[in-house]
Amino acid sequence: MYDKFLKYPLGFILTASVLCSAFSLQAASFSPQQLTAATAQWLKQQKEVPEGAQSQLSTLDPRLAHKQCDLPLEFSFAGPVSHQATVQIRCQSPQSWHLFVSARFSQQTEAVHSLRNIALGSQITADMLTLGQTDLRLARGSLITDPALVVGARVKRSLSAGQVVTLQDLCLVCKGDIVTISGLNNGLEVRTVGIAQMDGILGDQIQVTNRQSNRTIVAEVVAVKKVAIKF
């Protein structure tokens, strides 16, 4: 008698559990905030997004009605991926729907910025520069990470306050500069003075005239007003 009595509530509990599970699946509802968060989570797993990049998503209109879907949501890129992309969210249930979310990607790195407007031809001093964050993917030119490396260089194009300063904006050695020429000869460092015959930035090969011998040689720019040769 007790066994029969106990079977009924147990059966009722199991039936109720199945019904609740089915109802939860059929009534899957996603708010605009949940869809945006799900997109952000999906982006973290995509190899097309540069490693370490930060994603900034456009916000879906909060007034948008909650979306129902009884199947897993599908995410895909709707077009090429560069510093920005469009993500498509799709529901393939009988009442299918899709939405689009825009994303921007940024990779922050530390680089030298100008503290104020700097005119063409100005010589860089330490108080003109500062370190700040910049988006690596939007940078144009070779970034400078240590202001001390370019103190004494000249500006080849006008710079605005707050602008990222690149090596291409400067000449570490300018045509007509008196430069130090150094090199290793049989393990000994040899130094002399020369006159630069062209502009150059770090790593450039430029022509320099030795003031003692009056010979023109090719040397590599290694620092502000310094070049090096190989014997």
Q: Which residue has the higher pLDDT, 231 or 127?
A: 127
The structure tokens 């045509």 sit at 175
Give 18-38 pLDDT, tens digit per residue. Answer: 222 222 333 489 999 999 999
pLDDT at 89 > cutoff 90: yes
pTM over 0.75: no
Burial of 228 (0-12, 13-18, 19+ CB in 10 A): middle
Give 31-72 pLDDT, tens digit per residue. Answer: 999 999 999 999 999 988 877 788 889 888 888 899 999 899
Cα–Cα distance between 164 and 112 in angstroms, integer? 6
Cα–Cα distance between 228 and 231 in angstroms, integer? 10
Percent of the chain clearing pLDDT 90 (strictly above):
65
pLDDT at 9 > cutoff 60: no
Pairing of strands 29-30, 108-114: unpaired
Q: Which residue has the higher pLDDT, 138 or 43?
A: 43
